[in-house]
Structure 1
Amino acid sequence: MSIKYAETEPATGTSKYVGQGVDRRDGPAKTTGQARFAAEFPYPDLAYAALVHATIARGRIIALDTAAARAVRGVIDVLTHENAPAMKPAPKMSFLDLSSIASGTSVNYLATDEVHWNGQPIVVVVAETPETARYAASLVRPSYQELPATVDFAAGEPNAVPEKGIPIMESGADKGDARAALAAAPVSVDLRFSTPPYNHNAIEPHATTAVWDGDHLTLHEGAQNIPWLRKHLAQRFGVPETSVRILSPYVGGAFGGKSRAWAGTLLAALAARATGRAVRLALTRAGVYHTVGGRTPSTQRVALGADAQGRLTALIHTSVSRTGRIGGMPEPITAASHHLYAAPNIHLAQNVVQLDLLPNTFMRAPGESIGTFAVESAMDELAWQLGMDPIELRMRNEPERGPVGGQRFTHRMLKEAYALGAERFGWRERDPRPGVMRDGRWLVGMGVATAFHPSMRMPAQVTVRLGADGTLVVRSGMHEMGMGTATVQAQIAADEMGVPLESVHVEYGDSDLPPGPGAIGSVQTASAAAGVIDACAKLKKSALALARRAPGSPLRGHKLEDLVARDGGLHHAGGGQTYGEILTAAGRDHLEAESKAGMLGFVARTVLERRRKVRAATGAQFCEVRVDPDTMEVRVSRWLGVFDVGTVINAKTATSQLRGGIVMGIGMALSEQTLVDGRDGRIVNPSLSEYHVPVHADIPHIDVHYLNEPDPTTPLGLLGIGEVGITGVAAAVANAVRHATGKRVLDLPITLDKLL
């Protein structure tokens, strides 16, 4: 039975745990060191691998001197394109098979002498210890024939072409004549923004432990999408999917970087097959930058036209992003602009340029995070031009339906979010004049911006087993990256079945389990919840069927809709039975139910639904900054985010997720950027000492509130939380800086030199 992606019935159990701030179940294991990550599983005769990275942007390897590396004591093998066993090529990307998205690049590693980017792995050294492997790798001496390469985004930007539309993502749009309306508008702004490349910096760098037993591969991997990775590995190594087992009980952070199969994963499995040993390959920080894609840089134009009352007459948002010549997907930078503001004339266009660099990949709210920086900064600048409060400008242009396609909103409470945020933040105390508010010598500025992220669901399979002892086991190959996956699904199952939370056990992170949804696109919780609810409904139906056959059961003659799941069983006003009593009377020790949902038709269903409705999480970001008038140092001093994210399952983990997104957005606004040498494509700051992520001293207390109003079209009213928190953040900071200093910064990050 497939999960229905339409209006759904409310939960059938008595809610007791949903909405509560329950501690994460994986917390004790992680804080006491009992949790094992991918690089911590012991195997007898374990070997270690290290990579040699290319130092040119494009060309061919004409010689590899590996003699010194092979002579190092403890080296087991040195794998190159001259001696490595062949993998099958990566499958071409197809939205009829979403697992094909798992290909990080199209490069067939160690099967070619071609070099496609500076940092591409070209040699794998396998040794008895990680130190030996790294040392031997440093002794490999490659020689190259260099070929012309384009690695500078600014230089390549003029060659950008319109991107090809992707069925499940927003792209270009035209409504009316936006150019003519802009030219005729009494008030307008026309701004050009830029954002730099960004790289993933998860607490757990990418690591793989690979073990072959004949044609059976066991892989310990921090993965965001186990089913996609499993199918990809089976294709690359020419074995059945059932011969690949992926174990990923804990993922130490990901944000999109672990949603694909990158070189480290593939080469660890290749090295294990070549040597006949269990092999561990743990990337260094620099190795992550060299082999795992990050966020694309962008340039964006946002032009807004309005009448004297602040009603938009034109909205133009165009972008240029990049991919690699050997992979990557366009970033949906203008996606939020489809839905944020009512305007009779709208033009949205996305362009892309291919460079000789490691392909980009997903990074928290791909598209929306950098797209909202531009459009929300432009809205703030329009408010300055109009002499209007920026919140009032946004509310005056709040749409009744989808601004481009006229779709209905399934749920939209932005006005309520802004009203609550303005009250709690003390927005009325803001002096609208720039550079006037002070705290001692510090300039004080306040800014706002809208948060937006679309809500989707993906197929998920879930089994739920009910024991006669009252235990409930939920099984699905979901992913735990720190968001509390097992905890929230246990809360949902406990309420659905009316059992104590402590009696629910959740199994996840294993490809031997029913395939779960990927932890991508903020889809996992809602997608898995649909499966849990469906399986629990089937369980209750089966339990009632058993009870009806038992003489003297107080449930005989009752329909399921007349009963309430509570106190460990099914009950009505006149009585009831526990599940244990039902199963014992029937001579059964357990019942099991399964919710099945296939990928077939998912893309078509998603595209069709998008034509009819807009479903999204939204929010209002409020930022206060202090700026030193002499050095122009910017400090974020206060933050408030008010979000409309549908039903909140766990108050504690939801708040943590939203705060985490805001912290990441503050890093984007003030410090983070990947620096690429425009001559040879080398990343010059591939470490946490030079790529500046926020630390505790950079972040104030972040006040988070949510409206907790369910969306009527989703299971339990869920919308998704993981990504909406970062959207609008960079714009809120930039808008606060504009208020404090009078200067509009159009290019991230907002560093001292741009304000002095």
Structure 2
Amino acid sequence: MTETFRMDKAQARLLDETGQGVIGTPMDRPDGPQKVSGRARYAADGTPEGTAHGVLVRATITKGKVAAIHADSISDLPGVIGVVSGPEFIRNPAQGMANAAPVQPGTRVDYHGQPIALVVGESFEAARDGALRLKVDFEAEAGADVDPDTASEVETGDPSAVGDWDSAFDGAAFKVDREFTTAAQVAAAMEPHAAIAEWQGDKLLLRSSLQMLRFNKNEIADSLGIPAENVQILAPFVGGGFGSKLGIGPDAVAAAQAARELGRPVRVVMPRQAVFDSILRRTETTQRVRFAADADGKLRAVGHDDRVSNLWEEGFAEPTSSCSQFLYGADALRFQQSLARNHRTPTGSVRAPGEAVGMLTFEAALDELAEQLDIDPVELRLKNLPDTHPMTGQAFSSRGLAECLRRGAEEFGWSARGKPGARREGDWFIGVGMASAGRPNMLIQASARVRLEAGGATVETDMTDIGTGTYAIFAQIAGEMLGLSADRVTVRLGDTDLPGASGSGGSFGASSSGSAVFLAARKIRAKLAEAMGCDADELTLQDGIARGGNREMAISDLVQSEIVEEAQIEAGKTAESHFSAGYGAHFVEVAVHAWTGEVRVRRMLGIMDIGRVLNEKTARSQAVGGMVWGLGAALTEEISHDPRTGHIVTRDLANYHVASHADVPAQMEVSFLDNRDDEANPMQSRGVGELGISGAGAAVFNAIHNACGVRLYDFPATPDKVIAGLEALGL
């Protein structure tokens, strides 16, 4: 059994001493040519011989049960093979790291659009026709709560607090006490949820679009009632996930169940509307943010309460105040969450759960406090950076927030910022805004195997690449550690027969699974040092040459056949002694049209502290992508629900508006601090993608206010809301 390395103390900065020079460089993705040429194989590609096609049938009631499914109603349709249903059908995807199947509803229906059966046909068209025509009898129940604002059951947790809140808040000279709302959102990954299931005896081979295969393997096994060792999942390429593919979904479970019953492979691809209807969404929120400060800008009280929602019996609740609890210090802090139960599409992790919506409101309210105090928003933030974690007392690991704020202000030209409404170009008000960014950093258990042969090295792990650049980054880590150019490193991913990785999620994938690659390669370095007759810290590996112990040899000459090492890492004592997080600062310029209320983002700048940068190009792409999602949350993204049934009516990308190229400014810049986080992992790196989202939308909102004087408290800032704000100001 592989020995587990625990991160119990800071590790030497070995990657600063290696001489290959590939780590951190903006290396192109080795999988890029496959993707742009269409040769990359995604979940629904390359159907096995004899594959049948399945289309999910979904409930048309909000609450009740399935009384009968009349398979004979479509038995005479050409090409229809049959109908598959039963208690194995899951009502929604598993939450991230569930490691087991979610609630099995049997015949119970809990929301409109819940998967209840699968129609299988010789072609997709035949299956779709059958699914549309299938007769299903329901027994609907009245009184289903579909509006979280009027839900009959609301679970309110105990407040989490330090200090004397009432005294600190009431005694302060300046206060902000605001209620904000944020709209529900969906992940909207480019590749829809899809699966091809094929049984080989009593073993299941599943090709599926999933983010966390080590956990997904156990989840599908639990759904089907089979041993996990009888499951192999393949996901070498995943076309985006954003949290929606963290857990096993109804497409995979239905395909596997149907393939087992029919004795042939079954392919299930969920149409975009079905993804919107039945894949985990982000909750809408109502948030109350309170700040109190003395006249000099010193915070005395920080409060952030929120109300979120989820389906009955679901355990997930959006961690809205996750960043609010550590970014700034005060005499007293207070946080409380309420969870409303309803019968809508269930909620779960979507693109930076917590700070993506929490930082929208938190940083917007802090901007309002800065205006009250007549203190520059950057200066207000710098005044209130705590020395230790305000809630836990933990020491911070490497923290570059102050440098991000100062450097961002200088590079953006923040000092030229004027008063609200001071700058106008024709019909456009012009303004700038800023916000801090934060994202807790995590180290998740992960394993990897590295093989060194005379011709190069191979990295093996079931880690996924969801568009984040894993193939490139792992090649760089192994190449740097073993003195090889990255093109001499082969990376094998997305196969559960390989060592189990952390998976892609929570911005922890590259650092967690990458650390396992690092440790396995470090073991190989130790063996090479032994062969060279020197200590490991004396060994230099560069361009295929080993140097140490007054000797120089080709690495290939030190490898008789191959050297194989496997490593596993998990969090340890440093996670208890130190709080690790990514930090950043966003600066934005917008134009607001005086008559239409249209908001155009003209430029964005993000300065990020992510510890060691593993690949500058992929890191920048992740940060830019996050900033785009932040822009979308501020201006365009909004799910609408039918007030009668609770089902989503903005069910595709024609009606649900993610930020497009036309919405994104040409001038979008990102740069990184040259930092190391010694307590995070052996590579001193941190995650980046979700950090880019955090605070970006708040900077847009703050810029709208600086442009025209309008403060909005309801995200997103659609033109109707801006126009109403302008009218209220008499503009």
Q: Normalising by the residue count of structure 2, what TM-score does the alignment of the two structures yield? A: 0.95
CA contact (8 A) 1:58 1:117 kept: yes
| Aligned-pair identity (%) | 36
Paired residues for 1:560-639 under 5 Å:
560-572=536-548, 574-583=550-559, 588-597=560-569, 605=572, 610-639=575-604
**Cα 1:252–1:348, aligned 2, differ >3 Å: closer, same or farther?**
same
Name the aligned partner's letter for residue 103 of structure 2.
Answer: S
* RMSD across aligned positions (CA): 1.9
Name the counterpart of 1:142: 136
CA contact (8 A) 2:20 2:484 kept: no
Residue in structure 1 matching 2:233, options 238, 246, 251: 246
Name the counterpart of 1:237: 224
Residue in structure 2 matching 1:273, options 260, 264, 289: 260
Matched, 1:468 2:435: no
- Which SS does the other structure have where 1:377 is aligned? helix
Residue in structure 1 matching 2:179, options 164, 167, 192: 192
CA contact (8 A) 1:90 1:236 kept: no
CA contact (8 A) 1:208 1:221 kept: yes
- Which SS does the other structure have where 2:257 is aligned? helix
CA contact (8 A) 1:636 1:700 kept: yes
Name the counterpart of 1:523: 508
CA distance in 2: counterparts of 1:646 and 1:740, whole angstroms = 34
Name the counterpart of 1:8: 11
CA contact (8 A) 2:89 2:104 kept: no
CA distance in 2: counterparts of 1:78 and 1:92, whole angstroms = 21
Alpha-carbon shift at residue 118 of structure 1 (Å): 0.4
Name the counterpart of 1:550: none
CA distance in 1: counterparts of 2:687 and 2:551, whole angstroms = 38
- Which SS does the other structure have where 2:258 is aligned? helix
CA distance in 2: counterparts of 1:290 and 1:230, whole angstroms = 24
CA distance in 1: counterparts of 2:130 and 2:153, whole angstroms = 41
**Cα 1:426–1:671, aligned 2, differ >3 Å: closer, same or farther?**
same
CA distance in 1: counterparts of 2:713 and 2:387, whole angstroms = 30
Alpha-carbon shift at residue 92 of structure 1 (Å): 13
Alpha-carbon shift at residue 55 of structure 1 (Å): 1.3
- Which SS does the other structure have where 1:723 is aligned? helix
Matched, 1:695 2:660: yes
Name the aligned partner's letter for residue 463 of structure 1.
Answer: R
CA distance in 2: counterparts of 1:538 and 1:186, whole angstroms = 59
Gaps of at least 5 residues in structure 2 are 724-731
CA contact (8 A) 2:462 2:500 kept: yes
CA distance in 1: counterparts of 2:260 and 2:638, whole angstroms = 38
Residue in structure 2 matching 1:120, options 114, 117, 120: 114
CA distance in 2: counterparts of 1:444 and 1:88, whole angstroms = 53
How far does the alpha carbon of each residue in 1:398-457 deviate from its partner, in whole angstroms, 9 at most, with x for none? 1111122221110111111111111111111111x1111122331011100111001111
- Which SS does the other structure have where 1:264 is aligned? helix
Residue in structure 1 matching 2:28, options 23, 26, 30: 23
Paired residues for 1:71-470 under 5 Å:
71-81=76-86, 87=88, 99-100=97-98, 103=101, 105-108=102-105, 112-147=106-141, 148-156=143-151, 159-163=153-157, 173-431=160-418, 433-469=419-455
Residue in structure 2 matching 1:706, options 651, 672, 681: 672
Name the counterpart of 2:481: 496
**Cα 1:328–1:283, aligned 2, differ >3 Å: closer, same or farther?**
farther
- Which SS does the other structure have where 1:745 is aligned? coil
CA contact (8 A) 2:194 2:251 kept: yes
CA contact (8 A) 1:116 1:326 kept: no
Alpha-carbon shift at residue 565 of structure 1 (Å): 1.7
**Cα 1:746–1:610, aligned 2, differ >3 Å: closer, same or farther?**
farther
Alpha-carbon shift at residue 673 of structure 1 (Å): 0.9
CA contact (8 A) 2:20 2:480 kept: yes
**Cα 1:371–1:515, aligned 2, differ >3 Å: closer, same or farther?**
same
How far does the alpha carbon of each residue in 1:345-391 deviate from its partner, in whole angstroms, 9 at most, with x for none? 11111221121222211111101110111110110000111111111
Alpha-carbon shift at residue 211 of structure 1 (Å): 0.5
Matched, 1:52 2:57: yes
**Cα 1:101–1:444, aligned 2, differ >3 Å: closer, same or farther?**
farther
CA distance in 1: counterparts of 2:672 and 2:157, whole angstroms = 36
CA distance in 1: counterparts of 2:99 and 2:699, whole angstroms = 33
Name the aligned partner's letter for residue 126 of structure 1.
Answer: V
CA distance in 2: counterparts of 1:637 and 1:335, whole angstroms = 30
CA contact (8 A) 1:57 1:680 kept: yes
CA contact (8 A) 1:443 1:628 kept: yes
- Which SS does the other structure have where 2:390 is aligned? coil
CA distance in 2: counterparts of 1:664 and 1:563, whole angstroms = 44
CA distance in 1: counterparts of 2:153 and 2:602, whole angstroms = 42
Name the aligned partner's letter for residue 98 of structure 2.
Answer: S
- Which SS does the other structure have where 1:338 is aligned? coil
CA contact (8 A) 1:298 1:319 kept: yes
CA distance in 2: counterparts of 1:202 and 1:358, whole angstroms = 17
CA contact (8 A) 1:661 1:722 kept: yes
Name the counterpart of 1:33: 38
Alpha-carbon shift at residue 24 of structure 1 (Å): 0.5
Alpha-carbon shift at residue 578 of structure 1 (Å): 1.9
